Amino acid sequence: MEKLLDKFLRYVAVETTSNEESESQPSAEKELNLLQMLRDELLAMGIQAELDEFGYVMASIPSNTDKEVPAIGFIAHVDTSPDASGKDIKPQIFPNYDGGDIVLNAEKNIVLRTSEFPEMAQYKGQTMITTDGTTLLGADDKAGVAEIMVAAQYMMEHPEFKHGEIKIGFTPDEEIGRGVVKFDVKKFGAKYAYTMDGGEIGELEFENFNAAGAKIHVQGSNIHPGYGKDKMVNSMLIAMELNEMLPVEQRPRYTQGYEGFFHLISINGTVEETTLTYIIRDHDRAKFEEKKALITAVVEFLNKKYGDVVTLELKHQYYNMRQEVEPHFFIVEKALKAMEMAGVKPKVQPIRGGTDGANLSFMGLPCPNIFAGGHNFHGKLEYVPLESMEKAAQVILNIVRLFAD
């Protein structure tokens, strides 16, 4: 666990926030700092590794068994979400956690409360790693990165541990939906793969949201308010009207399980012009298409009402990977068995989000998602128990062992 903790703390110290406004790949040059570090660490272990022009680290550990074993990949992303600051992260470590509230920042009265997050109780006695209340932590997905690196190191240090060919992949820009846009599946060389990008211990997911992003621009007309009658068009009011026309019950606050949503993630406006950004999600493909049709119809209605002042840019992000994974369901079964071998109770559930594995599955690489161990991703209340990360690393090795056997 010391190796695991050391790696995790070194990785979260590197700022890797991806940038949705950038058109480059990777979207933020600072992501390359960690990617280069990982490549160099892999090379130092004696593992063949390279970093390509698009920010993908690909590495390969040759098989050490005479058996015919399919090449298995393990993938994690290095970028952190732009939803909260990922700069100057100052992790706090609480050994032998007492099961109560954790004060993250006394000065700002930021507290991780068990009343809000009752699941914290299951980690009593463990080592909790939290933020200092001013940034996110980066366990999404640097916990996954550290787990893969520790498993790789174990395999290199224990030649008696038999395995087939192992492929390792680290990607940028997953948090902005562009993680594997230019990922070369054929070059990667895995027959099957797993992303280590899930949440709490035990999570195993092979279905996810269908996803799209909507950018909406409202063009107003600013007239002196004293003379604005029948002339002023306040873009902010139209934007508010648009948002109110979307179903309230389909906001994230009111949805769970397989229920989809419209999520307003940013709004910036003046009388003259306003921009809104939404993400649209649903596990059911038909309902997903209905949501896209609804937001399109709302824009059309407002344009008829106010005279073509609203523009909509609707972009597809990814589809539900279930249809691509189910024909190879034995890879899910091996993950379930690997968890049981590690003493972890599996929690099979749909991802209320997405991973690189969703797009990879549609690119010909079936890729379920396994827990990395963290909670409260994308915010200042993010935390991860060290023991959950250790179990995830054990699950990786167990999957490798099961394929080799």
Evaluate whether 131 touches 92 at the Cβ level (below 8 Å).
yes
- Residues 106, 21 within the same domain: yes
In terms of Cα–Cα distance, which of 278, 213, 270 is closest to 247? 278
Q: Which of 174, 203, 205, 382 is catalytic?
A: 174
Query: 164: Cβ–Cβ under 8 A, 6 or more apart, which residues?
Result: 63, 65, 67, 69, 70, 71, 72, 400, 403, 404
Instruction: Output the CA–CA distances (angstroms, integers) from residue 180 to 56, 360, 361, in the order listed.
Output: 9, 7, 11
- Which strands form 128-130's sheet, in the order they lie side by side? 92-94, 128-130, 383-385
Q: What is the pLDDT of residue 63?
A: 97
272 tagged catalytic: no
- Residues 9, 78 within the same domain: yes
Q: Give Cα 319 distance to the centre of its chain.
A: 15
Tokens of 398: 């167990």
Q: How many structural domains is the chain composed of?
A: 2
pTM as predicted = 0.85
Tokens of 36: 């280069």
Choosing from 265, 287, 318, the residue where a domain stops is 318
Q: Which stretches of the chain drop beneath a pLDDT of 50?
A: none
Q: What is the pLDDT of residue 354?
A: 72
Rounded Cα distance between 284 and 260, Å, is 8
Rounded Cα distance between 55 and 65, Å, is 31
184 tagged catalytic: no
Q: What is the pLDDT of residue 351?
A: 83
User: In 199-350, at which residue ranges do the beta strands (DSSP E only) sit?
Assistant: 203-205, 210-219, 261-269, 273-282, 310-318, 347-348
Evaluate whether 286 touches 237 at the Cβ level (below 8 Å).
no
Residue with tokens 């989809």: 260
**To 10 degrees, the CA torsion angle through 174, 180, 181, 183?**
150
- Residues 59, 39 within the same domain: yes
Where b means 16+ CB within 10 Å and e means fewer, 110-124 reads bbbeeeeeeebeebe
Evaluate whether 276 touches 242 at the Cβ level (below 8 Å).
yes
Q: Which of 15, 31, 79, 173 is catalytic?
A: 79
Choosing from 280, 299, 318, the residue where a domain stops is 318
Q: What is the pLDDT of residue 350?
A: 87
Q: Which domain holds residue 216?
A: 210-318
- Residues 47, 187 within the same domain: yes
- Residues 395, 257 within the same domain: no
SS3 content of the chain, % helix, strand, coil (to 5): 35, 25, 40
CATH number of residue 240's parent domain: 3.30.70.360
- Residues 399, 345 within the same domain: yes
Evaluate whether 22 touches 177 at the Cβ level (below 8 Å).
no
Choosing from 318, 346, 368, the residue where a domain stops is 318
- Residues 330, 285 within the same domain: no
CATH number of residue 10's parent domain: 3.40.630.10
Q: Would you give the DSSP letter of residue 206?
A: S
Query: 30: Cβ–Cβ under 8 A, 6 or more apart, which residues?
Result: 14, 15, 16, 17
Q: What is the pLDDT of residue 48?
A: 97
Instruction: Output the CA–CA distances (angstroms, integers) from residue 169 to 7, 42, 44, 82, in the order listed.
Output: 17, 11, 16, 22
- Residues 45, 162 within the same domain: yes
- In the chain, DSSP finds a helix count (H) and a strand count (E) of 10, 17
